[in-house]
Amino acid sequence: MSTWSLAEVLAGLHDDLERRLATARKSLAHPVTKGDASEEVWLNTLKTYLPQRYQAEKAHVVDSNGTFSEQIDIVVFDRQYSPFIFKFQGQSIVPAESVYAVFEAKQTINAGYVEYAQKKAATVRGLHRTSLSIPHAGGTFPPKPLPPILAGILTLESDWKPPLGQLLADALKSSPEERLDLGCVAAHGVFTGDESGSYSIAPQEKAATAFLLELIARLQSSATVPMIDTRAYARWLTR
């Protein structure tokens, strides 16, 4: 019989991520360098553990009207059906139709950073997304409804006492465009929300693993991204 323990494997994932976040916070003095290192820890974790149909990058998101989002720390997007991902001057640019989720990564969570993440989410959700009919052997399927774009915030610590109390619940209240659907405070726990604006905030010893499994579950339940109208983007070639 195998001596492997699933509980230990899942706990190890969290312990590794929390250790790397803590090292970035303690070892790096410059705030920008420290923030970049934290982003990289979360980004590498998603790149490692998300199914390969998904890709994660720091990126701007663009729509076929030529409107760009602000730069997003982590964009989770489709790579199997996305026809193009731009790389320009070391920056990634992802078409709006390809996006499944967006996250901001910070050292700590507080009201200011929650609002910041909410505003960033709105710059992506406000973009125009196309959806074409899908041809098949017997004809065509109608255009897919646009799936909701998930949004959230990822941190190591919390500035609040208690870390996941009423102050967090109050900060999460927002408009639908700015709603944060899920988040992780690695040292303390996770929060999840629904489209009605209701939240569950739960202390969790292995928060990073709990967050990752919840994110994968939500991605699984989300429809595949719509069939992008590439000609809508091609119009910009003549301008």
Positions marked catalytic: 73, 104, 106
In the chain, the N- to C-terminal Cα span, in Å, equals: 66
Please name the helix (run of DSSP H) or strand (run of DSSP E) that holds residue 223, with its range, or none. Answer: none
Inter-residue contact 151 to 180 (CB < 8 Å): yes
- 98/217 Cα distance (integer angstroms): 18
Please name the helix (run of DSSP H) or strand (run of DSSP E) that holds residue 53, with its range, or none. Answer: none
3-state DSSP assignment of residue 100: strand
- 8/197 Cα distance (integer angstroms): 34
Tokens 């619940």 belong to 169
2 alpha carbon, distance to own chain's centre? 35
3-state DSSP assignment of residue 64: coil
| % helix, strand, coil for the chain, step of 5 | 40, 25, 35
3-class SS letters over 108-172: EECHHHHHHHHHHHHHHHCCCCCCCCEEECCEEECCCCCCCCEEEEEECEECCCCCCCHHHHHHC
